[in-house]
Amino acid sequence: MKVNPLIAKLEKMGYEIMFFDKPIDEFAFQEIKKYEDLPMVNCANKFDLPESDIEKKEIRCYFKRFQAFNQIFRRSFNQTCQKCQNK
């Protein structure tokens, strides 16, 4: 399998990756909720990736940096923009 950035990040964070590449594996995964007392998560579906403290600080820094732009954007496109928010 080709290197996937998400898989590389999960491995770097210490997660074990199990590849289910056969059709029967999808059915087996639906029945197996835990493996060696650890919860199993399908990373092919959308899920929340835990962030490190450093990543959280970087995100807060970006929000502060672009807060003025966000306010200008809201004022400029108030009539046409339905929703403009920080995450």
**Ranges of each domain in the chain:** 1-50, 51-87
Tokens 């074990």, residue located: 16
Predicted model pTM: 0.43
Per-residue CA distances from 67 to 57, 58, 61, 64, 78 (Å): 15, 14, 10, 5, 16
The pair of structure tokens assigned to 11 is: 């491995």
Write the pLDDT tens digit of every residue in 8-61. 888 887 888 878 788 887 787 778 878 788 777 777 776 666 667 777 788 888
